């Protein structure tokens, strides 16, 4: 009769129950680990020997078989070490305490029996709660646990002996963790040093980026070299609100899975890959799938400068994450899904030389070159861009009102708060379904007629029409309005076609 102890495995950030089954047989002394383990799990048999020896447990003269179920799912990482050790102890009757089916064990073991965390463990803890486990043994020195709202189900432990004693009814565990303060350092510490107050003019562009930040809408900026596209994008992170608890933990876990260093911080990520980046680095993948730039930008922004210089095939791979907010990577070994809710900020020149349509410089490109260059951004990608900003150089002699990042961020934060309250969950206007949008914000007939009129003129697809209404809802939130007005729809339409000519208080 085998002994089964539960743990958690991860497919991306989605968790599933792993059963660590141990069986002791007579025969040649050895430990066999089966159930599609990776190299780090196969090596666990030596870690287990050392850890068990440190607590005086004896498994000599036995053939121990350890099966990790489900057997068809490839297991990655040493997160199940602790569960396998408990299963071995229980199977060899060296642990008399009861192990309930509703208890899970997470942690990797050292040779001295100490328990440590490994990559993705914070996500596994959250998934254990969602899967219905009432008790989860975790490393006490694991970072980030003190930021969970509910920690009553956690059992923090330092050593394998401590787990054995607690299961045997000896001693009590203190519900204390290493305190990991959320990193509230200034944006400058994260490389975000530009404030919108330092950018002269571009009032319409600033308004468009504020709408994008408030509702999670995607932006495409087009204009000649030096007109301010990259500068505006660099200031964009300064108006992104602090991430929510769930998004902050997901972001931290994604960076762990990608083997990148990141502190637990509420500052939204902002990724800026070069146009030579491969599709795997941008979307994610590899022999052992890892998150790409779109997932590392989860909860923040992704800036693609010189967007038309990216390979067209790579850009087309953005369609799934832009539409669904997640990336699904399929391999022979299995399928993983990573969250990818980000705001795409694209910047491109209108032609190869960059001066097509410019008033002060002559374009040297042929009509064929211009058409070919603009075709690098496919229709499906352009369909998903809610805000089109056509920038021109600013006359530095003109006087413009100063928009500070602090003021813009305050408006964005308030608009997002309205969305969370409206939908009763952490969801933005760009992510909400069309039916739910109409249920919470009914559209009057004259607004529908106005939208249909413009749709026929500019040949808007159904997706574009829905996204225009979502953008209008965000504009209404920024204006503090309960419903969507004609002015909101007009502004959303003009943002979409790239010709904002409205004169309103928000632009003065």
Say which DSSP state 374 is in: H
**In this predicted structure, what is the pLDDT of residue 88?**
94
As a whole number, the mean pLDDT across the chain is 88
Q: Is the pLDDT of residue 157 over 90?
A: yes
Digit-coded pLDDT (tens) for 422-443? 999 999 999 999 999 999 998 8
Structural domains of the chain in order of their starting residue, each with its CATH number? 3-167 (3.30.230.10), 187-507 (3.40.50.300)
Strands (E), 159-313: 219-222, 270-271, 284-285, 290-291, 301-304
Maximum separation of any 2 CA atoms in the chain, in Å: 89
Q: 370-418: per-residue pLDDT in tens?
A: 989 988 898 899 999 999 999 988 877 667 778 899 999 999 999 999 9
**E strands within 40-134?**
63-69, 103-105, 108-109, 115-116
* 84-99 pLDDT, tens digit each: 999 999 999 999 889 9
End-to-end Cα separation, the chain, in angstroms: 77
Asked if the model's pLDDT at residue 507 lies above 70, the reply is: no
Confidence of residue 26 (pLDDT cuts 50, 70, 90): confident
Residue 137's DSSP bridge partners are 105, 155
Give the pLDDT band (50/70/90) at residue 81.
very high
What is the per-residue pLDDT across 305-333, written as a single tens digit (0 to 9) for each? 999 999 989 999 999 999 999 998 887 76
pTM of the predicted model, to two decimals?
0.86
The answer to whether the bond into 70 is cis (omega within 30° of 0) is: yes
Provide the token pair at 441. 């914000």
pLDDT of 504 over the 50 cut: no
pLDDT at 496 over 50: yes
pLDDT value at residue 166: 92
Over residues 22-39, the mean pLDDT reads: 88
Give the torsion sign (CA, 160, 260, 413, 472): negative
Confidence of residue 149 (pLDDT cuts 50, 70, 90): confident
Q: What is the pLDDT of residues 269-300, one digit of tens each?
A: 999 999 989 999 999 988 778 899 999 999 99
User: What is the spatial distance between Cα 79 and Cα 16, in angstroms, rounded to a whole number?
Assistant: 13
- Under the banding of pLDDT at 50, 70 and 90, the label for residue 508 is very low
Mean pLDDT of 202-208: 92
> Strand, helix or coil at 115?
strand
229 and 203 Cβ atoms separated by less than 8 Å: no
Burial (Cβ within 10 Å: 0-12, 13-18, ≥19) of residue 93: exposed
Residue 503 has pLDDT above 60, yes or no: no
Confidence of residue 207 (pLDDT cuts 50, 70, 90): very high
What are the phi and psi torsion angles at 183 (to 5°)?
-70, 105
Predicted pLDDT at 502: 46
Short-list 412, 425, 406, CA closest to 480: 412
Residue 122 and residue 138 in contact, taking contact as beta carbons nearer than 8 Å: no
Name the residue among 145, 117, 107 with its Cα closest to residue 129.
145
């Amino acid at each position: 009769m085998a002994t089964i102890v539960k743990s958690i495995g991860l497919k991306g950030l989605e968790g599933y129950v792993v059963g660590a089954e141990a069986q002791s047989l007579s025969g040649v002394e050895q430990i066999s680990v089966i159930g599609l383990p990776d190299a780090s799990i196969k090596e666990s048999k030596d870690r287990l020997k050392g850890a068990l020896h440190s607590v005086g447990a004896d498994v000599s003269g036995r053939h121990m078989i350890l099966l990790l179920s489900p057997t068809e799912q490839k297991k990655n990482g040493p997160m199940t070490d602790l569960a396998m050790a408990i299963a071995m102890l229980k199977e060899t009757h060296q642990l008399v305490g009861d192990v309930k089916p509703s208890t899970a064990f997470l942690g990797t073991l050292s040779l001295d029996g100490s328990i440590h965390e490994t990559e993705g463990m914070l996500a596994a803890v959250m998934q254990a709660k969602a899967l219905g486990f009432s008790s989860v043994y975790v490393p006490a020195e694991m970072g980030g646990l003190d930021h969970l709202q509910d920690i009553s189900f956690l059992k923090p432990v330092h050593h394998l002996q401590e787990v054995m004693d607690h299961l045997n009814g000896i001693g009590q565990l203190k519900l204390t963790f290493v305190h990991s303060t959320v990193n509230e350092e200034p944006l400058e510490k994260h490389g975000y040093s530009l404030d919108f107050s330092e950018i002269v003019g571009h009032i319409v562009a600033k308004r468009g980026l504020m709408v994008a930040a408030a509702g999670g809408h995607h932006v495409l900026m087009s204009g000649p070299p030096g007109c301010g596209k990259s500068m505006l994008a660099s200031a964009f992170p300064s108006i992104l609100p602090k991430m929510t608890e769930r998004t902050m933990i997901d972001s931290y876990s994604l960076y762990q899975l990608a083997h990148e260093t990141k502190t637990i911080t509420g500052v939204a990520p902002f990724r800026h890959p070069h146009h030579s980046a491969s599709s795997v680095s941008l979307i994610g993948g590899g022999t052992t799938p890892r998150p790409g730039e779109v997932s590392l930008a989860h909860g923040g922004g992704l800036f693609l400068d010189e967007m038309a210089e990216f390979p067209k095939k790579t850009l087309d791979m953005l369609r799934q994450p832009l539409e669904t907010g997640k990336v699904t990577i399929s391999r022979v070994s299995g399928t993983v899904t990573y969250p990818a809710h980000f705001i795409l900020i694209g910047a491109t020149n209108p032609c190869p030389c960059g001066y097509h349509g410019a008033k002060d410089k002559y374009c040297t490109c042929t009509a064929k070159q211009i058409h070919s260059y603009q075709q690098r951004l496919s229709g499906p990608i352009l369909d998903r861009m809610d805000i089109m900003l056509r920038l021109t150089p600013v006359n530095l002699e003109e006087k413009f009102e100063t928009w500070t990042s602090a003021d813009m961020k305050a408006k964005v934060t308030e608009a997002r708060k309205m969305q969370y309250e409206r939908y009763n969950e952490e969801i933005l206007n760009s992510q909400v379904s069309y039916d739910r949008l109409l249920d919470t914000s009914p559209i009057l007939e004259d607004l529908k007629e106005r939208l249909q009129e413009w749709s026929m003129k500019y040949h808007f697809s159904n997706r574009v029409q829905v996204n225009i209404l979502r953008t209008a809802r965000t504009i209404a939130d920024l204006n503090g309005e309960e419903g969507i007005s004609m002015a909101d729809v007009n502004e959303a339409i003009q943002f979409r076609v790239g010709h904002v000519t409205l004169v309103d208080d928000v632009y003065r």
